[in-house]
Structure 1
Amino acid sequence: DILAPLLLIEEAGLAGCQVHATPPALGGGLIRTGGGTVGGPAPAALEICAAHRIPVAESPLSMELTTPTGAALLANLAVVADRFPAMTPIRTGYGAGTRPNGAGANILRVVECEMSGLVEERIVLLETNLDDISGEVVAHALGRLLEEGAIDVFVTPAIGKKNRPVQVISVITDRERYARLLNVLMEETGTLGVRVREEPRLVADRRRETVEVAVGGRTFPVRVKTSEACGRVIAVKPEYEDMRQIARELGITLREVAREVERGLPSPGRGGEQE
């Protein structure tokens, strides 16, 4: 049950490729376990999905549809989401089960695809309007949200009810952190409500590495983020905090450090290696 799927992936030449899957239907009815018969879904499969925050789907079928082994394979091999990223189908394959379900074909479909140079990921956007709060409280709230793991936080001026000026705080996060960040946002600002939206976004493929750069006759480690799209490097950005530390240590300006660091980095537009 475990080795066969891995062998199929390897023999198809897909080892190392991203695997995307729709939320699995766990099933219902009565399921036989080592401890006796229990109501579905299978406790072990449900526990694995809960431990790995795998979204699940409903099904009217009164039978086990996702086994613990199947849930474990999804947890370790696949990105499970409601929507697939943009892709072009190349090959399709089907596997048929022998157990009748009384509702339709018992099959599993696999599609090999080519993906664009951009990567689709799911984000959660938290937003709230504030019209009776000081700038000091807003600044502190933004700092707390970033400390708690927000991907990004920003403030937008707007006009609210009764034509009063308001500040819209927007927090970009993921499924794992949004509940905690929502609590932080409400505690720090006193807002009575927060809008929550899950959205897809397309981003360049990014990699981070630490490189050694020479500045002022000395060598320093600097973290660098390289972004690629369609096989080409489109941005190379050194970490600001590392450059600031170098500037303080050498007693020179940040602009001088940035010029020296950027001389030793690859220029955007140069072709990147295919992964």
Structure 2
Amino acid sequence: MRTAWFDASSGASGDMVLGALVGAGVPLAVLQKAVDAVTPEPVQLRVETVDRHGFAATRCHVEGTDSTTARTWTEIRDLITAAPLDEPVRDLALAIFGRIAEAEATVHGTDVETVHFHEVGALDSIADVVGAAAGLAHLGLTWIACSPIALGGGTVGTEHGRLPVPVPAVVELLRGIPTYGGPVGRELTTPTGAAILAAVADEYGAQPPMATEDVGLGAGGADPAGHANVLRLLVGAGVRADVAAGGTGTLVIEANVDDLDPRLWPEVIAALLAAGASDVWLAPILMKKGRPAHTLHVLVAADAAAAVRREIFRQTSTIGIREQTFAKVALDRSFVAVEIDGHTVAVKVAHLDGELMNVQPEFEDVAATARALGLPVKDVLARAAALARAAAAAAG
């Protein structure tokens, strides 16, 4: 399993991503070929080794980008679509720019198809996105993790004047993704850097279990005092901790909620399950000042976490969530059908290494059968379980 981890504790920009990729072993020619295929004017990538507070880092310069033509998302999409790129590179580049287009449209209240890019529409940002897509595709990664992303602070000059850091587009791009302010009072994460990380990261947190083979340090253009302005990229063979334990990628997302009408909880739970959650449950708690509340717990696979996070914010009154990665080891499961006096009951059957461990009749089927036959539910439940065990034993 080819694994990578971005250490974004100093933020990220497009050129920092390019530098990290080259430092991790991606040939510069791979990036240049993709850039040449897309940019309508000549753009040259050049790398050099620089010092960032004791770290030897790779600085990637994107040169020949004096053009500041403001392009629409439609125009940029046409450039990428028409370019002779490998399909994975094209798809990733479109996904990254699509995120930027949606964020810019939201921030400026415009239509996503006609939103005009300014800083992000310049040739250097097009080169950053397409080059990053080519480099990541070249690495053949199967899982990408990223640390919480440092955003910086203070203000920054833009096309629209001076804006507070993080700028609105970065805030929009990193919704639902762990971020934090600082550690220095300058912009650390740009919209391009935010879009790349948001598009490629499968999970966020500490470095996953991996045998690191290559390390890339992409240098930012600035060299602030007392701070190593680098984006680290670790690449190697490895698996996530939960997979190494024999399980699947699983998060538990939680939120304490004390101001939601309790009649809404059944609909909230149903919405989260529909969004991809594996399980949802509530625990009553007592909060400060004696306020009764509930803790919402959601079990979800990593690849469905973004949709579930969004649904939590849509369906509840919480303004913050916390999450942890857990090892989940699940038995092999299947369903069998048993007949009880002409009525069908589905039964979930679980095995471990071929050995029968559990049988559990579906309660709705059991209750419906009990009502139809005028029998106690407990009797139908016991008969369905016994029939399922007998069938499994005969098949085994």
Per the shorter chain, which TM-score range?
Answer: 0.5 to 0.7
Q: 1:96 to 1:4 in 2, by over 3 A?
A: same
Q: Judge conservation of contact 2:344–2:365 (CA < 8 Å) in 1.
A: no
Q: Judge conservation of contact 1:23–1:56 (CA < 8 Å) in 2.
A: yes
Q: Judge conservation of contact 2:284–2:295 (CA < 8 Å) in 1.
A: no
Residue 23 of structure 1: aligned partner? 148
Q: 1:171 aligns with which of 283, 289, 295?
A: 295
Q: 1:27 to 1:207 in 2, by over 3 A?
A: farther
Work out the CA distance in 2 between the residues paired with 1:21 and 1:98: 18
1:84 aligns with 2:167: no
The residue type equivalent to 1:258 in the other structure is A
Work out the CA distance in 2 between the residues paired with 1:86 and 1:104: 23
- CA shift, 1:236, in A, is 6.7
Q: 1:79 to 1:209 in 2, by over 3 A?
A: same
Q: 1:180 to 1:55 in 2, by over 3 A?
A: same
Residue 123 of structure 1: aligned partner? 253
Q: 1:3 to 1:207 in 2, by over 3 A?
A: farther
Work out the CA distance in 2 between the residues paired with 1:6 and 1:178: 30
How do 1:80-119 residues align onto structure 2 when only pairs under 5 Å count? 81=204, 83-84=205-206, 87-102=209-224, 103-112=227-236, 113-114=238-239, 115=241, 116-117=244-245, 118=247, 119=249
Q: Judge conservation of contact 2:349–2:360 (CA < 8 Å) in 1.
A: yes
Residue 281 of structure 2: aligned partner? 152
How do 1:163-242 residues align onto structure 2 when only pairs under 5 Å count? 171-174=295-298, 177=312, 198=322, 200=324, 202-205=326-329, 213=337, 215=339, 240-242=362-364
Structure 2: gaps (5+ residues): 1-127, 273-279, 286-291, 299-308
Q: 1:10 to 1:217 in 2, by over 3 A?
A: farther
Q: Judge conservation of contact 1:123–1:199 (CA < 8 Å) in 2.
A: yes
- CA shift, 1:44, in A, is 0.7
Q: Judge conservation of contact 2:338–2:347 (CA < 8 Å) in 1.
A: no
Matched-pair identity in %: 17
Q: Judge conservation of contact 2:345–2:366 (CA < 8 Å) in 1.
A: no
- CA shift, 1:125, in A, is 6.4
Structure 1: gaps (5+ residues): 129-139, 157-167, 184-195, 267-275
Residues 33-82 of structure 1, C-alpha deviations (whole Å, 9 max, x = no match): 443442322221111223xx12211224344322223323333332554x
Residue 57 of structure 1: aligned partner? 180
Q: Judge conservation of contact 1:124–1:172 (CA < 8 Å) in 2.
A: yes
The residue type equivalent to 2:190 in the other structure is T
Name the SS of the counterpart of 1:64 in structure 2.
Answer: coil
Work out the CA distance in 2 between the residues paired with 1:223 and 1:44: 50
Work out the CA distance in 2 between the residues paired with 1:169 and 1:233: 42
Work out the CA distance in 1 between the residues paired with 2:383 and 2:328: 28
- CA shift, 1:99, in A, is 0.6
Residue 255 of structure 1: aligned partner? 382
Q: 1:234 to 1:154 in 2, by over 3 A?
A: farther
Task: Number of aligned residue pairs: give it.
Answer: 226
The residue type equivalent to 1:64 in the other structure is E
Q: 1:35 to 1:87 in 2, by over 3 A?
A: same
Residue 189 of structure 2: aligned partner? 66
Work out the CA distance in 1 between the residues paired with 2:365 and 2:385: 7
Residues 191-220 of structure 1, C-alpha deviations (whole Å, 9 max, x = no match): xxxxx9956363425599985635359896
Name the SS of the counterpart of 2:151 in structure 1.
Answer: coil
- CA shift, 1:96, in A, is 1.7
Work out the CA distance in 2 between the residues paired with 1:100 and 1:232: 59
Q: Judge conservation of contact 1:54–1:80 (CA < 8 Å) in 2.
A: no
Work out the CA distance in 2 between the residues paired with 1:207 and 1:76: 32
Name the SS of the counterpart of 1:70 in structure 2.
Answer: helix
Work out the CA distance in 2 between the residues paired with 1:14 and 1:232: 33
RMSD of the TM alignment (CA)? 5.0
Residues 248-272 of structure 1, C-alpha deviations (whole Å, 9 max, x = no match): 4874712333344566779xxxxxx
Work out the CA distance in 2 between the residues paired with 1:58 and 1:5: 25
1:38 aligns with 2:38: no
More helix, by proportion: 2
Q: 1:106 to 1:31 in 2, by over 3 A?
A: same
The residue type equivalent to 2:228 in the other structure is G
Name the SS of the counterpart of 1:148 in structure 2.
Answer: helix
